[in-house]
Structure 1
Amino acid sequence: MRVLVVKMSSMGDVFHTFPALSDAMRSIPGLQVDWIVEKSFAEIPEWHPVVNNVFSIELRKWRRTFWKKQTRQAVQAFFQQVNQHHYDFVIDAQGLLKSLWVVRNIQTGTKVGFDWKSAREPLASLGYQQKVHVPNKQHAIERLRQLFSKALNYDYSLNSPIRYELNTADWSKPTELTQHFDDDVYSVFLHGTTWDTKLWPEEYWVELLQKVVDKGRKVVLPWGNQEELERAKRIANSVKNDQAWVPDVSLGLTTMARILKFSDFVVSVDTGLSHVAAALDVPMVVLYRVTDSSLVGAKGEHVMYLESALSKQYIKKFKNAQQYESSLVGLTTENVLSLLKGKVTKI
């Protein structure tokens, strides 16, 4: 059986798809999977053993310049490449009108997606040949596992163990890391995210860094944009003797994943890289100020959560100082370290 998966973004959504692929791989002998994903995430699907071809799409770019001849030519060339292959099923794992447009441009295979009550954009369901009902108000991972099992007709037991099963056995520490920390034990602080309301205050990171460094540990502070770089430098400069490392350049996804894999533990806000760490089975505490971990949280055997009373409200801008403070209740450095004591030695 040959299947094409359409799951283009975001980073967390891409990682949410891996357990469904692992279920399918275990249930269907000889399964072959190709994947359409946004170019910026094209490295990620290759990490799963059942994935053969990864087609990197630039849909975000195309939508801004669709009137240009060059864009239309790029679209045509992309689908010509994909349509060289025959598929038995094409699974829309996003349930959006934009992903439906991609699916409908694939010439072979039964088009499968969420039904009207299950899709994020219900109108998308009208374009599928096979519509799958999956109850809402479940974690995205469980929804995708159910979608794949019903689409490809294999048994799935609700809440069965999550398996990412990524091809990481041959990975080693990147040279960028060993040049700074040799073979020392280190942790990673993932401090950057998309919404200001999801950030953990800088002074909290400084406090946590000091406590971790006092235990003789070193810390990596990665970054993805100029604002995050400046914050990482300020946090790192709060301790002495190069105990904290801020990379000179923004690291690629594979390099960052290798750093996460060999870390002793991770502390993270709600951000895409938290899903990478979860998939790599790294002990991790994730801080949820205004987002719901039960629906979109990083899931893994060694993932621990700290959630505020506002974590299910998806607040993008705080109304007042009281709401700001309420979003931090329970998200203290002491609580982070308390959770880690059950997973990490000498902390």
Structure 2
Amino acid sequence: MKILLVKTSSLGDLIHTFPAITDAAKALQKLELDWVVEEGFHEVPHWHPEVDSVIPVSIRRWRQQPVTSVRNGEIEDFLEELKAKQYDMVLDAQGLIKSALVTRAARGYRVGYNWHSAREKIASWAYQQKIAVDKTQHAVQRSRQLFAQALNYTQPKSPPDYGLQKRTLDIPNQVKPVVFLHGTTWETKLWPFEYWRELAERLDEAGQPVTLPWGTQEEYQRAEMIGQSLERIQTLPAMGLSEMAAHLASAKAVVAVDTGLAHIAAAFSVPTVSVYGATDAKRTGTLGVHQIHLQSERACSPCLSRHCHQATDSGVQPPCFQQITPEQILQGLLELGVE
């Protein structure tokens, strides 16, 4: 069966789809799966052994340069590649207007979330078959249920299998570090700098190497400040996603905000303590073995907002993280067997 999967972004959402692909490959005798994904994430689908080919799309860039993208033929080239193959099914696992437009342009029987299940309801108009999936479930469960209903097999009751294999990555030979995933796109997801610094000092004093990846100049500067003058705290060089995945797969443990990289660690069953304030761990938290979620107990959490307007007397911003302290992180690491 030839399937075109449409889920263009973001990193965590792509990883959330891997268990559904594993389920489908086990349920169907012959599965040929291509995947439409944003150009910045083109490496990611290749990590799953059941993905045959990847069709990069550049919607994010086209939105910024629409006239140029039309004139230079990029959009026309993408549509030509998209329409080159006839599929048995085009499955939109994202449920956004942008993914629905891609789905509508492809050649094949179009399937996606129904009006009540899609993240952007109008997207459901693009599908010939509309599937109801409970929006309150975790994102991994939503994807597994969507695939099972679309492809007409019984969803396995087994824990999610991301299908990732360490042997497909270039795993570095190194002393296993604790990795601090401190960077994220929402300011309301950022764990306070002073907490990161205190945690770094505690681990450095205990003799534990720590590494800090970064993706933007702001994240690089934060990483440098977190590890300043601490012998065992290292800011990593710039890395591609596959190199970063290999580094995470080799880690002793991970401490993370709500970021896509944390889901890679979880997919490799790396012990991870992650913190959630503005977002809801029950819906989008890391899912797998050796995972501890520290969810804010503040009344306004989870607000699902990119910006915080709550006042605080403690000076901790965002205030929903006030009670999630470095001591709690250290206790979580101990519970996971990380000493």
Structure 2 partner of 1:292: 280
In 2, the alpha carbon distance for the partners of 1:191 and 1:93 equals 28
| Contact persistence 2:4–2:91 (CA under 8 A) | yes
Amino acid at match of 2:252: D
The Cα offsets for residues 266-321 of structure 1, whole Å up to 9 and x where unpaired, read as 00011111111111110000011221011111211121111112432224223211
Q: More deviation in 187-196 or 256-265?
A: 187-196
Q: Report how far residue 164 of structure 1 moved.
A: 0.2
After superposition, the Cα gap between the structure-2 partners of 1:71 and 1:140, relative to the gap in structure 1 and judged at 3 Å, is farther
Q: More deviation in 55-64 or 276-285?
A: 55-64
| Contact persistence 2:279–2:302 (CA under 8 A) | yes
Q: More deviation in 231-240 or 8-17?
A: 231-240
Structure 2 partner of 1:141: 140
| Contact persistence 1:45–1:51 (CA under 8 A) | yes
Matched, 1:266 2:265: no
The Cα offsets for residues 206-263 of structure 1, whole Å up to 9 and x where unpaired, read as 11112212222101111111111111111111413xx111124x21101111110000
**Structure 2 stretches lacking a partner, 5+ long:** none
After superposition, the Cα gap between the structure-2 partners of 1:153 and 1:309, relative to the gap in structure 1 and judged at 3 Å, is same
Matched, 1:344 2:337: yes
TM-score by length of 1: 0.91
Structure 2 partner of 1:312: 302
**Structure 1 stretches lacking a partner, 5+ long:** none
| Contact persistence 1:191–1:269 (CA under 8 A) | yes
Matches within 5 A, 1:5-44: 5-44=5-44
| Contact persistence 1:197–1:318 (CA under 8 A) | no
Structure 2 partner of 1:332: 325
TM-score by length of 2: 0.93
Q: Report how far residue 115 of structure 1 moved.
A: 0.6
Structure 2 partner of 1:58: 58
Matches within 5 A, 1:167-206: 167-174=165-172, 183-206=174-197
Structure 2 partner of 1:130: 129
In 2, the alpha carbon distance for the partners of 1:122 and 1:307 equals 29
| Contact persistence 2:192–2:317 (CA under 8 A) | no
Matched, 1:153 2:152: yes
In 1, the alpha carbon distance for the partners of 2:65 and 2:325 equals 45
In 1, the alpha carbon distance for the partners of 2:69 and 2:130 equals 35
Counting matched residue pairs gives 334
Structure 2 partner of 1:221: 212
Q: Report how far residue 69 of structure 1 moved.
A: 6.4
Out of 157, 162, 170, the residue aligned to residue 164 of structure 1 is 162
In 2, the alpha carbon distance for the partners of 1:191 and 1:9 equals 20
The Cα offsets for residues 118-158 of structure 1, whole Å up to 9 and x where unpaired, read as 1111111112111111112111111111111111000014x
Residue 175 of structure 2 aligns to a residue in which SS? coil
| Contact persistence 2:62–2:69 (CA under 8 A) | no
- Supply the RMSD in Å over aligned alpha carbons: 1.7
In 1, the alpha carbon distance for the partners of 2:176 and 2:19 equals 29
Q: Report how far residue 57 of structure 1 moved.
A: 0.5
| Contact persistence 1:309–1:326 (CA under 8 A) | no
Residue 46 of structure 1 aligns to a residue in which SS? helix
